């Protein structure tokens, strides 16, 4: 079966190609090409598969880094206790703009992802495989085509579920809710997928891992623990998939041995550290250029420098760009992408985003950085999901790494550099609440009707003229527009 044309991310590799094997000769590995590139999988064995995952310390590659074997054992224990077979779920809902590694796997090596899921489903007695993909992404075409190609050899039924391409869609609880036909939002109360119930697909015990994790399991099963650990570090064997974001060009997905220094990787991709390097994506952390060059690309190596590997997304910030302007753009987007279900997302992130926007505009008082830090500090550890914590890490490390730029914006109108949008954001029709200050008479009704959107300055007027509006805020925004006595507000959509 021939799949329709796809948007295929560019792929490279440093060292041996494992996950990316064959992609130098094939744009996409259909089932026949997949079998030519990868040897047959060994037969499924529950104890052997668990031992293998433990021997190579296979961990989730979606950002959390949770041990796969521990998650699988918890799922199996629940399945035995409740007397119901588990469900295997592939998380391919990659909603983070600077990350394209899972898109690359789903689009170009879909059968490698399905290999890992099928291996676990057969070994653990699952009664269904569910693959969650982003609506409109390459997985929406590639994965159903791959499932259809191998329908006769599947250990159990498999289906693809398309989810909205939002930042929170890839959170495990949000993904499970979407599969169950509920709003794709993180669960307000923690519920582990392995324990089934409200946290599982069809209330079944659910083994959920991201697309790269399943592909890594398939590679480890073919190689065995010793050969798998021949590259990488002793603590983190094997390879990692990384997304290098290039200004003015599409993302580049690179497979490299774990522990590879960041500097040589950037050189190989024609990039420089610039003013700073973001590692781990928009829930990651910023590194100073002098720290980035020798930073080992592993969980332990980046943690020792105050960074995080996360989902493996890397962005360099060129010297000719205004760092605060770029950071403020992403801060506003992250605040609008939240689920809006808890205090940190409803108040803390918008307050921090607003403080950064004022600072980037060169209109902030000396208290602005501290206001942002206070709002982010209050958000940490208090959210229903990890979104506030990850956003806080991204913004707080930015304030540290770009401290000189903060000072420049506090002491004058700003640094004078442009904001070309180097940090990638999706092209969407997000709503914005716009304030016409020539009409506004300072009634203050807007902040009563939409306290999560509008904040007033010391003179009683809104502090910002353009306010991003998240989907969960649109009702309050429309009501505020309709009831403004001065007709000073409007809700606008567009890029």
Architecture label for domain 323-425: Up-down Bundle (1.20)
Strand (E) or helix (H) holding 252: strand 252-257
Single pTM value for the model = 0.86
26-227: CATH homologous superfamily? NADH-ubiquinone oxidoreductase 51kDa subunit (3.40.50.11540)
CATH 3.30.70.20 spans which residues of the chain? 427-495
Determine the Cα–Cα distance for residues 98 and 100; give it in Å rounded to an integer. Answer: 7
Which three-class secondary structure state does DSSP give residue 7?
coil
Which fold would CATH assign to domain 427-495? Alpha-Beta Plaits (3.30.70)
The CATH code belonging to domain 230-317 is 3.10.20.600
What whole-number distance in Å separates Cα of residue 334 and Cα of residue 405?
A: 22
For 60, phi then psi, to 5°, come to -60, 135
Phi and psi torsions of 51, nearest 5°: -65, -40
* Residue limits of CATH 3.40.50.11540 in the chain: 26-227
CA dist., res. 428 & res. 417, Å (int): 25
CA distance 142 to 156: 19
CB 192 within 8 Å of CB 75: no
Report residue 366 as tokens. Answer: 């000396």
Q: Strand 206-210 and strand 87-92: pairing?
A: parallel
pLDDT digits (tens), the chain, 495 positions: 444 445 678 999 999 999 999 999 999 999 999 999 999 999 879 999 999 999 999 998 877 788 999 999 999 999 999 999 999 999 999 888 999 999 999 999 999 999 999 999 999 999 999 999 998 888 999 999 999 999 999 999 999 999 987 888 888 888 999 999 988 888 777 788 999 998 899 999 999 999 999 999 999 999 999 999 999 999 999 999 999 998 878 899 999 999 999 999 999 999 999 999 999 999 999 999 999 999 999 999 999 998 889 889 999 999 999 999 999 999 988 888 876 667 667 777 888 888 888 888 877 778 778 877 887 777 776 666 778 888 889 999 999 999 999 988 887 777 889 999 999 988 655 678 889 988 998 888 988 888 767 878 777 888 777 777 876 677 788 889 999 999 999 998 765
What string of DSSP letters covers 206-222?
EEEEEHHHHHHHHHHHH
The tally of CA atoms less than 13 A away on the side-chain side of residue 386 is 17
Q: If you write DSSP's letter for every residue of 260-309 in order, what string do you get?
A: -BHHHHHHHTT---BTEEEESGGGSEEE-HHHHTT-BSSHHHHHTTT---
CA 461 to chain CA centroid, nearest Å: 36
Query: Residue 219, Cβ neighbours under 10 Å: how many?
Result: 21
Ranges for all domains in the chain classified under CATH 1.20.1440.230: 323-425
């Amino acid at each position: 079966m021939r799949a329709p044309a796809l948007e295929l991310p560019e792929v490279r590799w440093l060292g041996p190609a494992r996950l990316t094997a064959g992609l130098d000769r094939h744009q996409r590995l259909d089932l026949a090409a997949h079998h030519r590139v990868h040897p047959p999988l060994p037969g499924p064995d529950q104890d052997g598969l668990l031992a293998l995952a433990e021997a190579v310390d296979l961990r989730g590659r979606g950002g959390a880094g949770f041990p796969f074997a521990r998650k699988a054992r918890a799922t199996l224990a629940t399945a035995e206790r409740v007397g119901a077979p588990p469900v295997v779920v592939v998380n391919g809902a990659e909603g983070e703009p600077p990350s394209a590694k899972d898109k690359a796997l789903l689009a170009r090596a879909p059968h490698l992802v399905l290999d890992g899921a099928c291996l676990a489903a057969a070994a653990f007695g699952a009664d269904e495989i569910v693959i969650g993909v982003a609506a409109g992404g390459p997985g929406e075409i590639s994965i159903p085509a791959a499932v259809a190609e191998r329908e006769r050899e599947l250990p159990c039924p498999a289906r693809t579920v398309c989810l909205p391409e939002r930042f929170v869609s890839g959170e495990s609880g949000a993904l499970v809710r979407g599969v169950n036909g509920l709003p794709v939002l993180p669960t307000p109360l923690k519920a582990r997928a392995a324990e089934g119930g409200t946290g599982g697909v069809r209330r079944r015990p659910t083994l959920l891992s991201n697309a790269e994790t399943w592909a890594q399991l398939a590679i480890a099963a073919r190689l065995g623990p010793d050969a798998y650990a021949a590259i990488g570090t002793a603590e983190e064997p094997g390879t990692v998939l990384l997304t290098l974001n290039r200004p003015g060009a599409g993302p580049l997905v690179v497979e490299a041995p774990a522990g590879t220094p960041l500097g040589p990787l950037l050189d190989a991709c024609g990039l420089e550290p610039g003013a700073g390097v973001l590692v781990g994506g928009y829930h990651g952390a910023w590194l100073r250029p002098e720290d980035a060059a020798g930073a080992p690309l592993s969980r332990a190596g980046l943690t020792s420098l105050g960074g995080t590997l996360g989902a493996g997304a890397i962005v360099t910030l060129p010297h000719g760009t205004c760092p605060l302007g770029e950071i403020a753009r992403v801060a506003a987007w992250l605040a609008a992408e939240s689920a809006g279900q808890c205090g940190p997302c409803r108040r803390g992130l918008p307050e921090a985003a607003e403080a950064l926007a004022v600072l980037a505009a060169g209109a902030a008082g000396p208290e602005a950085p501290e206001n942002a830090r206070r709002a982010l500090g209050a958000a940490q550890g208090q959210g229903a999901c990890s979104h506030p914590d990850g956003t806080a890490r991204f913004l707080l490390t930015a304030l540290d790494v770009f401290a000189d730029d903060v000072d420049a914006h506090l002491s004058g109108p700003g640094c004078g550099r442009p904001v070309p949008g180097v940090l990638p954001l999706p092209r969407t029709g997000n709503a914005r609440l716009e304030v016409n200050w020539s009409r506004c008479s300072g009634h203050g009704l807007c902040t009563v009707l939409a306290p999560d959107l509008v904040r007033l300055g010391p003179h009683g007027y809104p502090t910002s003229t353009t306010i991003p509006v998240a989907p969960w805020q649109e009702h309050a925004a429309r009501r505020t527009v309709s009831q403004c006595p001065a007709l000073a507000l409007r809700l606008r959509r567009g890029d």
